[in-house]
Amino acid sequence: MKNFLFTGLRARLILFVLIIMLPVLGLVVYHGIEGRNTGRIEALDKARRLARNASMLYQHTILETRQILFTLSQMSQFHRQDSAACSKIFAELLKQTESYSGFAAAKPNGEVFASAPTITKPVSFADRPWFQHLVQTRGFVIGKYTK
């Protein structure tokens, strides 16, 4: 009989502890779910801010590029296709800008006549899709990223 009473008391104590711990466990699970949801929302907000900042930087770079190209298009050295003078202008421009890794000017047939850094071998852009699109539209064209 004592064994039965001891087992019953043990069972009641375990049940009592479980009943006390159940709300605590519920709170832990609830806070875990809330923390995960809060973290997810914060991560999404951060991703949106980063995407918005990247988009604004991209738009700024496009605007800056348009301004540079317009300015260069007004210079007589480029109308005359003066290779030495244009390469010198490109070299100075490259020193002043951080967003660009190089500049090149091409004739209507695609042959590069000036660049910075200097291109030593003959290069033609005539086969590039962006150049063909440029010739067709005679407007501002953005090509794909190349390595």
What string of DSSP letters covers 81-126? T-HHHHHHHHHHHHHH-SS-S-EEEE-TTSBEEEEESPP-S--B-T
What pLDDT, on a 0 to 100 scale, did the predictor assign at position 147?
A: 66
For the stretch 103-126, pLDDT in tens is: 999 999 999 999 999 888 899 999
pLDDT value at residue 83: 92
> Rounded to the nearest 10 degrees, how much is the dihedral formed by the CA atoms of 33, 36, 40, 46?
140
User: Taking 80 as the threshold, does the pLDDT of residue 1 lie above it?
Assistant: no
Span 48-67, average pLDDT: 93
- Domain residue limits, the chain: 1-74, 81-147
Contacts 24+ apart (CB under 8 A), 35-38: none
3-54 confidence digits (pLDDT tens):
554 467 777 888 788 888 888 888 889 989 998 999 999 999 999 999 999 9
Report pLDDT for 6: 45
Q: What is the pLDDT of residues 12-22, one digit of tens each?
A: 888 788 888 88
In this prediction, residue 93 carries a pLDDT of 93
Q: Which residue in this structure is represented by tokens 């711990």?
A: 21
Higher pLDDT, 72 or 11: 72
In angstroms, the CA 125 to CA 96 distance is: 25
Nearest-CA neighbor of 89 among 101, 79, 103? 103
Where does 81-147 sit in CATH, by number? Answer: 3.30.450.20
